[in-house]
Structure 1
């Protein structure tokens, strides 16, 4: 299934995209694509519905973030060996974890702000893992039991804030609009193999990133299990699993960074695509 949220910020309706690409209103079935609605039982009930019996929604509406009320936005750093090397670092022995503020979350086609004082804004196409049921101390072989599905994430970053302003990475990852997610949450049954999905990202029509989730150092099962040893994962939490090479800071002979007035497009096989315009940060 492809689940999404349609409408203006703060007023999104839960929806389903049927096999004929018709948007169907789920607001009579669930309150939101969030929390308990992501449980295996609720997803099974939605899957059993006849989409043709659900009201159709008009086309052309804004697509919101595919998950609402996200509790934790957990990111995995340097999870592609070739990306680690392009940043001048060795591949990690264990997953590197950091948090991205949930206030950074926006829809897949919303504008991305370039922060005030920014000179190194960057892009990162990533596979997002959406938790569907509580996970604490789970084993790798049971990890997928706790996953509702997957989504496309642009882990927008400001490298000078991230690496030159002291502390950890969070301040470079958390500006408003730095977390576009969606367009859809694709349930696990509709993703053939999360460890073999092609990924790409363009800036102004120039291909910058090309990769595949099969080259992740730590796969989805390992990450869900690993993170659950340190914190309880709750329904609606999102794990952004790392990016392939081709980020702006790794460009040769000189880094290339985002500026207002550009267009970012990105996608992951089976998970859809995003398109964002970069703008100056609003007050």
Structure 2
């Protein structure tokens, strides 16, 4: 597995895009053999989309009911297509058809090596490139059983409904991620706060389930589930996202994404 701590994709003042870690520039793709520090340096003018955007066949999975305090909302995995991915600071359009807009703070696992049907005794550590943080944006209107037929994919399939980043942090850097806290702020108001040890299923269990009989390709993003506090279950009434709202999601020691909806 490649060696890095906090990987970022950025643009320098000349408009060139690099992978980098702090002051050091990196080359190639982060899951390729030989990926290493080049020794060159470049100034970060703008943080770009997460490195996984370069993989056309990457497909994040949104796993509902993965966090114990949020178990009532979703119960299955659904795939996202490439057009749903967005950068950590991008503006997110609310299409006319996307009603009842909601946020979901999620820890993202980046797959670094093709994974398929691992044996029960096989460690999955070599298959995890690192961790990031994302927002599993959902138009709840399209999760109504009468409209969706019990399928939640369309509610999450609108353009740029899966922002994540700003870095990919290596497992070695983070250590035990179950001790990390994840929070969501909407216009400065705390909406979600939970430690990752509140997950119903461990990340190991999630990856084993997703890879049963099928290949989860290197570069895939796995969204692992959201804590309580989403807009849909706020009392006395849901507090849906509207144009102008700013959503900040932070995963301790990983980073913060901040997206304005318009």
Alignment TM-score, normalising by the size of structure 2: 0.89
Query: Of residues 158, 161, 167 in structure 1, which corresponds to 2:142?
Result: 161
Equivalent-residue separation in structure 1 for 2:166 and 2:219 (angstroms): 15
Query: Of residues 68, 76, 98 in structure 2, which corresponds to 1:118?
Result: 98
1:233 counterpart SS class: coil
**Is 1:17 aligned with 2:4?**
no
Give the gaps of 5 or more residues in structure 2: none
Residue 71 of structure 1 corresponds to 58
Equivalent-residue separation in structure 2 for 1:7 and 1:253 (angstroms): 45
Query: Of residues 97, 109, 112 in structure 1, which corresponds to 2:89?
Result: 109
What does residue range 52-201 of structure 1 map to in structure 2 within 5 Å? 53-59=39-45, 61-67=46-52, 68-69=54-55, 70-85=57-72, 87=73, 96-139=76-119, 141-163=122-144, 164-167=146-149, 168-201=151-184
Shift of 1:62: 3.9
What does residue range 203-282 of structure 1 map to in structure 2 within 5 Å? 203-279=186-262
CA shift in 2, pair 1:12/1:270, >3 Å:
farther
**Is 1:38 aligned with 2:20?**
no
Give the conservation status (yes or no) of the 8 Å contact 1:7–1:64.
no
Question: Which stretches of structure 1, 4 residues or more, deviate above 6 A after TM superposition?
Answer: none
Equivalent-residue separation in structure 2 for 1:259 and 1:57 (angstroms): 36
Give the gaps of 5 or more residues in structure 1: none
Q: Compute the RMSD of aligned alpha carbons.
A: 2.0
Give the conservation status (yes or no) of the 8 Å contact 2:19–2:51.
no
1:142 counterpart SS class: coil
1:165 counterpart SS class: helix
2:141 counterpart SS class: helix
Give the conservation status (yes or no) of the 8 Å contact 1:194–1:220.
no
Alignment TM-score, normalising by the size of structure 1: 0.82
Shift of 1:131: 0.6
Deviations 1:160-186 (A, max 9, x none): 012252231111011111011100011
Equivalent-residue separation in structure 2 for 1:160 and 1:115 (angstroms): 12
